[in-house]
Amino acid sequence: MINALRGMKDLHDVESAKYSHIVETAAGIAKRYGFEFAETPQLEETALFRRSVGESSDIVGKEMYEFEDKGGKSVCLRPEGTAGMVRSFVQNKLDRAGGKHRWFYHGTMFRYERPQKGRLRQFHQFGCESFGEASVYEDFHIILMIKDIFDALGIRFKLAINSLGCPQCMPGFKETLVKHLHDIDDLCPDCDRRIQTNPIRVFDCKNGSCQEKFTSLPRLLENLCGECDEDFNELKALLDRFDIDYEVDRNLVRGLDYYSKTAFEFISDEIGAQSAIAGGGRYDRLVEFLGGKPTPAVGFALGIERIMDLVQLPEQNRQGWYFGVMEEQALHSIARLAHKARQSTPCTVEYKRKGLKAHLKGADKAGARYCAVIGSDELQEGTIWVKDLQQKQEQTVAVDMLNFTR
Ligand code: HAM
Ligand 1 closest atom vs CA 81: 27
Q: What is the pLDDT of residues 147-201, one digit of tens each?
A: 999 999 999 999 999 999 999 999 999 999 999 999 998 999 989 988 988 899 9
Report which residue type is found at 250.
R
Task: Answer for the pair 64, 82: CB distance below 8 angstroms, yes or no.
Answer: no
Ligand 1 within 6 A of CB of 120:
yes
What is the chain's length? Answer: 406
Within 202-283, where are the H helices? 208-214, 226-241
124 CA → ligand 1 middle, Å: 9
- CA-proximal residue: ligand 1, atom 4 (nearest): 279
Q: How far apart are CA 156 and CA 269, in angstroms?
A: 8
Looking at CATH, the fold of the domain delimited by 13-169+224-308 is given as BirA Bifunctional Protein; domain 2 (3.30.930)
pTM beyond 0.85: the answer is: yes
- CA-proximal residue: ligand 1, atom 11 (nearest): 303
Ligand 1 closest atom vs CA 302: 7
The yes-or-no verdict on residue 406 having pLDDT over 90 is no
Residue 132 gets the label, from left (phi > 0), alpha (psi -120 to 50) or beta, of left
341 CA → ligand 1 middle, Å: 41
Ligand 1 within 6 A of CB of 277:
yes
Ligand 1 closest atom vs CA 266: 10
Q: How far apart are CA 81 and CA 178, in angstroms?
A: 31
- CA-proximal residue: ligand 1, atom 21 (nearest): 119
The CATH number of domain 321-401, selected from 3.90.730.10, 3.90.1210.10, 3.40.50.1220, 3.40.50.800: 3.40.50.800
What residue ranges do the domains of the chain occupy? 13-169+224-308, 321-401
Q: Of 125, 161, 262, which is best to mutate to test ligand 1, by the most ligand atoms within 8 angstroms of its C-beta?
A: 125
Q: What is the pLDDT of residues 72-125, one digit of tens each?
A: 999 999 999 999 999 999 999 999 999 999 999 999 999 999 999 999 999 999
